[in-house]
Amino acid sequence: MKWYSAILFLITLVAGLMEVVSGLKGDSITSLVPSDVFGGIVLLIVSAVFLRGLTHREHYAFYEFGSLMLCIFSVLYILAMLANGLDAAIVGEEWNPIDDLRIEMILLPFAIPGTLRLIREKRELPP
Amino acid sequence: MDFVSELAVARYEKIGEIVGKCVEKIEKPRTFSDVIDTVVTDKYVGIPIFLSLMWAVFQFGYSISVPFSDAIDVFFAWCAGIASRIENPYLASFLSDGFFGGWGFVLVFLPPIAFVFIALTILEQTGYLPRAAFVVDRAMTRVGLQGKSFIPMLLGFGCNVPAIMATRTIDDEADRKITIMVNPLMSCSARLPVYVLFAGAFFKESAGAVITLMYVLGIILAAVMATLFRKFIFGGSPSPLLMELPPYEVPTIKSALMSSWLRIQIFLKKAATILFIGAVIMWFLATHPWDATNGGELIENSYASMIGHAVEPIISPLGLDWTAGVALVGGFLAKEIVIGTLAMIYGVGEEGVADVITQHFTPASALALMTITLIYVPCLATLGVVRQELGSWKWTGLVLAYELILAYIVALIVYAVASVVML
């Protein structure tokens, strides 16, 4: 599974760098990549977790926890998107969910295998 | 090697020999906590993971709460609108601006505070926080605090009052005093409304990041001040951290909500007493003398204006005018009052305050105001507990003085840097 960790490392690295660059430029590179320096730094931290796992003897732990982090941030942005929709309804503004889409949401499916593995370990291993 | 050293070595050799014969080592089965701890306590990624999770907590509090805040906002604006139709202008002003305005300004910030509490509770119930204490212990020891200081410091993000009382678990007197003295620099939930409003108005896309920066700034300043207090006042070195790490648990929604509710209740009690009374006092100062202000319309003739203009020469180098001065003076009572005061002075409802502040502040001066709010005098309740726990007016005076001076200096630096960067 190291190859999958390496892919996740590269994807989160590129996505994080794009968000940081967009943030510093003050303009989005694409509609999926918001100009968000801190959001980008968080993605870079996730990529660092995957990278650390590539060189660590307990590589699975890093792969699983990195996936969990990616899942947490993806779900966080999805909740934020839904909150924006609800807010638009309350204040009577127009809302287009496409405007709130972020690359982290697209990455959610990639994080699911690692997170499921972690959940399985939670069930199988003593606490 | 001298005789004493040789004796020690011989003793340990003998001990090793005896232990080797009578103790059987059993391979401990690998646990789920071991798997997670390998990552979250890793020397390279442990602290970045901690910071990113804290960022997630505040992003959660800021982003998810928006519709709930707006719903409360809309409701109280509606109530104030109805109250303003009352024929008696004094009663109408009191009810719309003082009563409903006061409640609205306080309760509109309940959702972000509640969501931050929920996120922190979830993090706490997973068992991650003691690991976070372990991860930051080394850094804390370097700045003159001990590992046990971490829990009171973390509680400070909720409210400084229980956080300062929690320092009673620290045995060493010097460690305890330093922790108490720097605890008000941990950004309590009362300061969050100020950040939410100003960051939302001036740094829309990066609001979450700016709020996180404020929290990080508070942590850095606490570290700097703790180092200085340790070096120049108390001396010595902090005692080592010994703590048990509980196993990881999956928190249930029910228990997370119940624990959060206990914390939210503290805010609601404060809202119903200190904050509401504070809001009414600010309404009185902004609308009196009643005749001179023409029923609160000519704010320049009010008591609030007099106070603000007296403070203005001090805060004008920070890009702040007299209106910010009144708000900051009101903040002495409780930090939540800052926003309500500004809205009252600008004569807008809670729904309009975000629009109006963009006309009175620049991004740089907004950052300066947020910085002052972070650092300057904690609320009256916190000051009371500081006095109680330090047991001396001298130490309490020192806390008061250093925070005022530090707030001014740091805000000045932030304003200068931000003015240059944002030009």
Of the candidates B138, B129, B126, the residue with the CA atom closest to the CA atom of residue B241: B138
Judge whether B230 and B178 are in contact, CB under 8 Å.
Answer: yes
Structure tokens, B381: 């309740």
Tens-digit pLDDT string for chain A (127 aa): 789 999 999 999 999 999 988 877 767 777 788 877 888 999 999 999 999 999 998 999 999 999 999 999 999 999 999 999 999 998 888 888 888 889 999 999 999 999 999 999 998 888 8
Taking CB atoms and an 8 Å limit, are A36 and B209 in contact across chains? yes
Residue B350: is its pLDDT beyond 70?
A: no
> CA of B54 to nearest chain A CA: how many angstroms apart?
11
Judge whether B156 and B186 are in contact, CB under 8 Å.
Answer: yes
> CA of B68 to nearest chain A CA: how many angstroms apart?
8
Tell me the C-alpha distance between B382 and B170, whole Å. 19
Task: State how many domains chain A has.
Answer: 1
Chain A residues with CB under 8 Å of B49 CB are 45, 49, 65, 69
Q: Where are the alpha helices (DSSP H) in A26-58?
A: 37-55
Identify residue B106 by its one-letter amino acid code. V
Strand stretches in B311-354, DSSP E:
none
Of B33, B70, B74, which has the smallest distance from its Cβ to A127's Cβ? B33
Q: Cα–chain-centroid distance for residue B400?
A: 16
Q: What is the pLDDT of residue A114?
A: 94
Taking CB atoms and an 8 Å limit, are B38 and A62 in contact across chains? yes
Tell me the C-alpha distance between B76 and B79, whole Å. 5
Largest CA distance in chain A: 54
| Closest-CA residue of chain A to B65 | A83
> CA of B351 to nearest chain A CA: how many angstroms apart?
10
Quick: pLDDT tens for A84-110.
999 999 888 888 888 888 999 999 999
Chain B residues with CB under 8 Å of A73 CB are 56
Q: Mean of the pLDDT values across residues B363-392?
A: 87
Tell me the C-alpha distance between B177 and B392, whole Å. 11
Tell me the C-alpha distance between B290 and B302, whole Å. 8
Domain enclosing residue A46, as ranges? 2-124
A91 lies within 8 A of chain B by CB: yes
Tell me the C-alpha distance between B241 and B389, whole Å. 22
Of the candidates B261, B258, B278, the residue with the CA atom closest to the CA atom of residue B270: B278
Q: What is the pLDDT of residue B91?
A: 86
Taking CB atoms and an 8 Å limit, are A62 and B63 in contact across chains? no
B30 lies within 8 A of chain A by CB: yes
Burial of B79 (0-12, 13-18, 19+ CB in 10 A): middle
Strand stretches in B304-366, DSSP E:
none
Q: Write down the ipTM of this complex.
A: 0.94
